[in-house]
Structure 1
């Protein structure tokens, strides 16, 4: 197995609060891996620590075999790793056009075929070139998240970090964005690490998952195990009951 991301005994402490407590996960290249748990379980903190947005107090992170130090991430890291946030409106600059927001990462990385990449990225997320000169407030929530995904894809990364990418969207739009992400992953053989509180979303999108509680991984499962009810922890069972995707009709 070729590892894309390896996290070993990682802890993150904010003042006296231990947000992550010696967490270890390994994600294979091309795999879609889920992190699930209730609010405050540490799943988003883990994603942010990988991205360099949360400071690790102990442990190690390796991405594509390269050990990361502190919170500093260089341009090479961001060429291969991109993140899509929960709130598509908050992650886009309200006073910049779609075109400028897609051009910005290309300018930072000194990539000069911007016209081709912008049109390609928009096409991949199902938007026409007519969206290039719109502002975020002129877009629906689903369209804004498609732009956020296009911006993540435009550098042609190998790993996407997805922090609840559909939870801020209407239910009717969620499935469209999830299907889009799955199509993109297969087309580019991407590695996904997806945070979600919805087990239905995770089983649809991910091969394996880690269940988090109180900053720790309490169970590791395949999606097939979850669907079949092969669960070892009561906490995971309670999550399953709470998730609308797992409501079962009574006989």
Structure 2
């Protein structure tokens, strides 16, 4: 049996009087692609951000590779293991830094050597050649910016990649390219994915299992195959499936 690389137990996140996560628990195995779905406000992005240390949690536990973390406290080793790709490729890159600087910064922080070779390899991996290395983000399309964001996440050679709606801000024609790029990286690097999306089609295509969230709670956890064959228990999952028009598993 494959060990869990990520485990969340009874996690609670609140903002003032609003309970955003209400004793949420999930387990993700090493090498697995795990999805989190739910309507807007269900808590799915809050969960991802709490795992990443961007939202503090007031109760519960988070374990990554056997190491426990609390609140917002994260070690440098954590960020070598866990990286995140955000929804907005326009907001996640510093506009006054070149692609080279954006990729160099995490390498410098974590003391990597052979930085030139690592930067070139990262650009090649995401389908951008050396011609993009000294461009600024405003000179790139949305899809190219997201490729840079993925390269920046991968350049530290993490084990877990957190993906918060990584294609929802992109044109439909570009979405499939980015998803295929991510899936190729997962296979090549034996990565573990935790992906948030409102799109059941994307989650079904990318993920083996998924947690369905509503009002800050996990309603149920099902496999993508069970979702496709309508083998699930919660009526809310059925409602999500109906709302996701044109749902197909590629």
TM-score w.r.t. structure 1 length?
Answer: 0.97
Q: CA RMSD in A?
A: 0.8
Are 1:214 and 2:215 matched, yes or no?
Answer: yes
Matching of residues 64-79 of structure 1 within 5 Å: 64-79=65-80
Aligned to 1:106: 107
Query: For the Cα contact (< 8 Å) 2:183–2:206, is it kept in 1?
Result: yes
The 5 A counterparts of 1:1-251 are 1-246=2-247
Superposition deviation, residue 229 in structure 1? 1.0
Q: Which runs of 4+ in 1 moved over 4 A?
A: none
Distance 1:110 1:44 in 2: 30
1:74 CA displacement:
1.0
Unmatched segments (≥5 aa) in structure 1: none
- How far residue 213 of structure 1 moved from its aligned partner, in angstroms, is 0.2
Q: Any unmatched runs of 5+ in structure 2?
A: none
Provide the C-alpha distance between the structure 2 equivalents of 1:115 and 1:225, rounded to a whole number of angstroms: 45
- Provide the TM-score with structure 2 as the length reference: 0.97
The separation in 2 between residues aligned to 1:122 and 1:237, in whole angstroms, is 41
Distance across 2 between alignment mates of 1:8 and 1:159: 18
| In 2, Cα distance between equivalents of 1:100 and 1:160 | 21
Instruction: Give me the whole-angstrom Cα distance separating, in 2, the residues matched to 1:117 and 1:10.
Output: 36
Q: How far off its partner does 1:151 sit? A: 0.2
Between the aligned partners of 1:4 and 1:165, the Cα distance in structure 2 is: 21
> Secondary structure of the residue that 2:228 maps to in structure 1?
helix
